[in-house]
Amino acid sequence: MIKVVIVDDEPKLRQGLQTLIPWENLGFTVTAAAGNGRDALKIVEEEVPDLVIADIRMPVMDGLQFIQRLRSAGHQMHCIILSGYADFEYAKQAITYGVAGYLVKPVNIAEMSATLKLVREQIEEERLRREWYRTEVTNRELYLRRLLAPQEKTEDPAKLRSRIREMDLLWSHYEIVVISPRVPEADRPEHLHQLSAGLKHGIEGRNRGLVTVIAPYVILLLNSPLHGRQRRDHLYGEIRSIAGDTRFIAATGGTVSEPELIYSAFLKAQEAVKQVFFSAKDRLLEPERTLFAAPEFPREAGDRDEKRMEDLIFRLYYSLDAGNKTMVLPLLNEAAAFFIQQGQEEDAVKQAFFFLSNRLIHKLTAASRIELKETETVSRFLNGIYQQDYLSDLLEETHRFLLEFAEDAGPKGKEQEIKQMTGFIHRHYAEDLKLSTLAGLLNYSTPYLGQLFRNKTGEYFNTYLDKVRIQKAKELLAQGMKVYEAAELVGYTSVNYFFSKFKKYEGRSPSDYKNP
C-alpha cells in the first residue's frame, strides 16, 4: 500500500476525504491527518508517507510553505494541492515545488480518484526503478569485490571481459581510491558505513563509479582518471566534507586501462596508505610518492652508518649549543633523509628520532653543567614522538622542542663561561691572546667557542679584544702616556696597526686623547 497523509484545517473536509475516497481500492492507505503545515511536518518525519495531500489556505503554515519546507529538508514524496480558489498563480507556484496534482475544492471524487491513479503509477514505476538500481548496483558492487581480489590464472579472459561488460563495468579507465578512517578499531565499522553511505550519493548518484567497503577501507572505483592536482584535491575535499571531524587517510593506486589491472592498483593504493607517515598532509596520497627525496649518502665498506649518526648528533648539538638556530631544521631534515635512505619504516624512524633527541637533551644538559631530571615536559616530548602521524609533524615538533630546551638549558651554564672568557680578556688583553688559547682552557673547539662567544656577546672574539685594548689605551693616553708606549702596553707590537685600529673604532687619532 502507498501511504498518504492529509493536511487541511477543515475537520469536515479531512474526515470526508478519508471516508469518501476508496483508498484501498486505489492502492492507498491514509496513515495520518493534520490541521496545519507545522503539525504535518512532525507527522511526515514519523510516518514518511509516499503522498501528501495539502490545502493551500491553512493557519500557522500554509500548504505551499509546508511543501517548500519538505523539499528543503530533502523529502521527495509526491504532493497534491487542494485550493478553494481557481487561482493560476497558486498553480504556478505549486508546479515549481514539483506537485503531482492541483485540485480545486470542493473535491470531485472522480477527479481525485483519477489523479490518485496517475500518482500511483508514478510511485510504482519509481519503486521498480529504485529496486532495479539497488539490484544492479549490488551486483556490480559484488563484482567489484571480485576484481579487488587476486585473479585466478585459469580464468578465461574472454569470459571475464564478457561478465564485466554485462555489469556495465567495461570502462576506458579505472582509478582505485582507498579511504581508511583513523579511528579506534571498535568504532571502525560504524565510520566505514557512514563514509560509504555519504560517498555513494556523490559517486554512484552522479555516475562517476562505484563505492564499496572492504574493511578497513571504503573503496572507490572511478570511471575517470584523477589527472592533475586540482582533480585530486577536489575529491579529497569531497571526502573530507563527508568525513566531518573524523580523521582519515585517502590514497589512489593510479590509473589503469584494463580491468585485470584493478587489483594491482588496489595493492598500490594500500601501500600508499601504509606510507602516509612519509607523505604530505591533507592530500590524496599517490603510489611511490614521499615527502622527502633522500639524498644519496655514500656507503663505504664496513658500514659507516653509526659514524654518520654520531656526526649528525654532533652537528645538531654544535648548532643548538652555539645558538645557531638556522641550522637545526636543515640538519633534522638531513637526519630524516638519512633514515629513509636506510629503508627504515615508520616505527624505526620514530625510534631513531627518539634516540637522537634523547642524546641531544643529555648532551645539552651536561654541557650546561646542570643535572638532567626526568621532567614531565621532556618525557611528554619523547613519548609523543611515537604518536606523530606524519614525519613533517615529527620534525616540526622536534625542532620546536630542541630550540626551546637549548634556550632554557643554555644560559644556566654558558653565562658563567662567557663571564670567565670576558674576565680573562680584561685581565690578559696585553698578552698575545688568541681564541684558541681560551678554547683550550675551556675544553672547546676553536670554531665552536668563537660562535658561542659571538652569540652571547654580539661581537667576534677579535673585535671584542680590540675594543677592550682601545679602551685601555684611551685611559693611558689620557694620563699623558706616549702613543707608542700605550700601544705596546695594551698588546700592539706595531704602532701603525694600533693607529689604524684606534681610528677604526674611535673615528680619530690616538693623539687626540693625550692631555696637553
- Tell me the DSSP string of 41-80: HHHHHHH--SEEEEESS-SSS-HHHHHHHHHHTT---EEE
Report d(CA 108, CA 254) in Å as an integer: 63
Burial of residue 135 (CB within 10 Å: 0-12, 13-18, 19+) is exposed
pLDDT attached to residue 101: 83
pLDDT attached to residue 294: 47
Residue with cell 694620563: 479
CATH class of the domain comprising 160-273: alpha beta
Report d(CA 6, CA 81) in Å as an integer: 10
**Which three cell numbers, joined as nine digits, stand for 118?**
496517475
pLDDT attached to residue 115: 92
Q: Which CATH architecture has domain 2-125?
A: 3-Layer(aba) Sandwich (3.40)
pLDDT attached to residue 17: 92
pLDDT attached to residue 350: 93
Going from N- to C-terminal start, the domains of the chain cover 2-125, 160-273, 305-414, 415-513
Where are the strands (E) in 57-207, listed by range?
Answer: 78-83, 101-104, 174-181
3 state DSSP class of 256: strand
Strands 174-181 and 217-222: antiparallel
- 415-513 classified as CATH 1.10.10.60: yes
In angstroms, what is the C-alpha Rg of the chain?
41
**pLDDT, averaged in runs of 10, over the chain (516 residues):** 93 91 94 93 92 90 88 85 71 71 87 93 82 60 76 62 76 93 89 91 87 91 90 92 91 90 91 87 79 51 67 80 76 88 84 91 68 71 90 92 75 61 80 80 77 87 93 90 91 91 89 68
